[in-house]
Amino acid sequence: MIDLFFSYWIFLWFFLYIFKFTSYNPKFAFIIALLCAIIYFFYLLFISTSIPNKTFIYKYIFEIFLNKIIPLLFLYHSKIFLKDIFFTSILFIIYLFYLFLKNTNILNSYLHLHYSIIHNQNILPFFKLYDSFFS
């Protein structure tokens, strides 16, 4: 299931970069992903007024912290080059093609994710990890 979310592709890329399997830096991709996550976080705050159980907000913060902020801290001093931006674009196109092969698209994937978040379903690994720590 996590293969349908680009953030996890970037997260995998981060480990490939850290362990020197690739020279393409994922920092640019993480910055874009973090900006999208922050926008979505404010949307979650907005809709949470009508949802009694607010646990999903804490899980999402946990997800952002582990999946985006910690890797960005590791990459803090690294520079972003044009080749990294280009690779991010190519990887995103490959991701879209992968979704097509899986008979879905980015909108359906993230709508499914949204539904699972607000209904407190743990389809993401870091949500499950949150529950194991805080439940």
The pLDDT tens digits of the residues spanning 66-101 come to 999 999 999 999 999 999 999 999 999 999 999 999
Q: What percent of the chain has pLDDT over 90?
A: 61
pLDDT at 99: 96
pLDDT at 68: 96
Inter-residue contact 33 to 7 (CB < 8 Å): yes
Using DSSP, state whether 56 is helix, strand or coil. Answer: helix
pLDDT at 123: 77
User: Residue 31 and residue 72: Cα distance in Å, rounded?
Assistant: 8
How many Å separate Cα 93 from the centre of its chain?
16
Give average pLDDT by consecutive 10-residue segment, the chain, 135 residues.
Answer: 89 97 98 95 83 80 94 97 98 97 93 82 81 80
Q: What's the one-letter identity of residue 109? A: S
